[in-house]
Each structure stands twice: as C-alpha cells, then as structure tokens.
C-alpha cells in the first residue's frame, strides 16, 4: 500500500545527513510557480501567506535566491514537525528508505509530490494558499490531475491496492479522489479525555507519522495487517470504523 502525508512549515537543513538526492518528478511545474513567486514583492508574500514581517522577509529572500542557495536536502529529512517526529526517518534502515522511496509520498504546494529522497530547498507555500499560475486561481487548480496521475503510476508500479491517507484535509484535497485507481483508506486517531474520545491535532499529526513509519518498516500490504497498528498505545476500534475509514483509539 502507498501513503500520502503532509509537509511541515518548520524546516531543518542542518541535519548532517548526506545522501544522494533524486530529482522531484514535477520540477517543470515547480519552475513555473517559482518564476511567478519571484515576481512578488515582500508585501505581496506577507499578505498572501499571512506572515509576520520577519517570516515574510525570510520567504521573500528564499524565493529570490532559490536557484543560488546551497541549502538543499532529501525531503524526508528537511521537514520538522509532529508528523515527522512520529515518522522518525533517521531510524530507517537502507531497506526502509528504499521501500519509502516507492511507497511514501509527501504532498507539497511548491513541488506537487515529493518522494523521500527528492531534493528540496527551503520554501513556504501551503497548498491552501490562494496563489496560482498558468491561469489557475489557486494551487488546487494549478496542480489539477498531475498529483493523482503520479500516485496512480506509483500504485501500478508497486502493485498497491490501497492509498492510506495520512495527510491533512488541506493537502489531500489536491489528490482527486475520483481519479484514483486504488481504494483510499482514511484514518482517524482519537484520545480518551475524561471518558470521551476526541481528536487532538498535535497527537493526531504525530500518530499519522507513526503509522506511516509502521507501514514502511513492516511493508504492510493488507488492511488486516494495518489494523494491527498498536504503536504508542493505539488500538483499532472496529465499532467506530467503516469500510474506508479506520479509527484508532487510546
């Protein structure tokens, strides 16, 4: 089975891991976005991305210096956040990384879709940002069917029956469900708080990363094996689950 996850706002390009990167698969369209972003003034970026003065200046400079910057990293190590803490990619063996390269996909506003080894540079462009190019009014229109077509190619190549959605709603919206050639499995993680089960954002993000890692390290293929996920106290809840929605509680 294949997996999609969201990127993170926080980045780390000083992790000290040096491996050969692969070229992002949608680099031609990334270049189109970059050329449009480089036309933006700092105040345009600030307003569009709703950033502080400091962050607006940082991201303005990132785009102006994008081609020249020496900062680059495999995508799987560049992102820092709750999902990536759960993912814990630094613990992966060479076999884990090879499997992840074919089965784990990171959705991205700038790159469309990233494989773990794909080279990325520092950027900020959330998928929900109202920014487009080539006549598109936003990134969902800009990427169109490109992302889902690429996922379908990976599904065929890996002979996967399922796509496990461990991304946020904002990012998974960029994947056209009705064009997928495999079943989508949505996953929900609930926490027991004072006798009631609720989804807590930070915990859910970390759990998504842990499940992605569980699938990679165990090379999970079937739903029955996915339901055995029990990392960090989570247990599958049959009574709360549906055909294409798996619920885990703790």
- CA dist 189 and 245 (Å) reads 11
Can you tell me which residue has the tokens 């549906």? 242
Give the span between the Cα atoms of 123 and 182, in whole angstroms: 31
pLDDT tens digits for 196-237?
Answer: 999 999 999 999 999 999 999 999 999 999 999 999 999 999
- Looking at residue 199, its pLDDT comes to 94
Three-class secondary structure of residue 99 per DSSP: helix
The CA-CA-CA angle for residues 84, 13, 78, to 5°, reads: 30
Rounded to 5 degrees, φ, ψ at 81 are 170, 180
Q: Which DSSP category does 173 fall into?
A: T
Q: Model pTM? A: 0.95
What total of structural domains would you count in the chain? 1
Instruction: Name the residue range of residue 201's domain.
Output: 2-249
Rg (the chain; Cα; Å): 18
Could you report the per-residue pLDDT of 28-69, keeping only the tens digit for each? Answer: 999 999 999 999 999 999 999 999 999 999 999 999 999 888
Q: What's the CA gap between 241 and 187, in Å, rounded? A: 9
């Amino acid at each position: 089975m294949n997996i999609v996850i969201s990127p993170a706002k926080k980045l780390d390009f000083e992790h000290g891991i040096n491996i050969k990167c692969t070229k992002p698969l949608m680099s031609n369209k990334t270049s189109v976005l970059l050329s449009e972003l480089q036309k933006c003034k700092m105040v345009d970026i600030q307003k569009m991305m709703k950033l502080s003065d400091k962050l607006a200046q940082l991201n303005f400079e990132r785009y102006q210096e994008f081609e020249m910057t020496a900062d680059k990293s495999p995508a799987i190590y560049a992102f820092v956040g709750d999902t990536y803490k759960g993912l814990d990619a630094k613990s992966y063996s060479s076999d884990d990384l090879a499997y992840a390269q074919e089965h784990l996909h990171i959705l991205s506003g700038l790159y469309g879709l990233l494989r773990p080894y794909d080279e990325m540079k520092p950027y900020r462009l959330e998928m929900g940002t109202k920014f487009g190019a080539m006549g598109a009014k936003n990134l969902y229109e800009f990427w169109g069917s490109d992302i889902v077509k690429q996922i379908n190619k990976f599904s065929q190549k890996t002979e996967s029956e399922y796509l496990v959605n461990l991304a946020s709603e904002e990012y998974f919206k960029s994947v056209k469900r009705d064009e997928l050639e495999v079943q989508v499995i949505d996953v929900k993680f609930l926490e027991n708080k004072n006798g009631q089960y609720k989804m807590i954002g930070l915990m859910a993000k970390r759990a998504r990363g842990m499940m992605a890692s569980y699938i990679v390290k165990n090379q999970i293929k079937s739903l029955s094996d996915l339901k055995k996920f029990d990392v960090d106290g989570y247990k599958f809840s049959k009574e709360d689950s549906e055909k294409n929605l798996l619920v885990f509680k703790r």
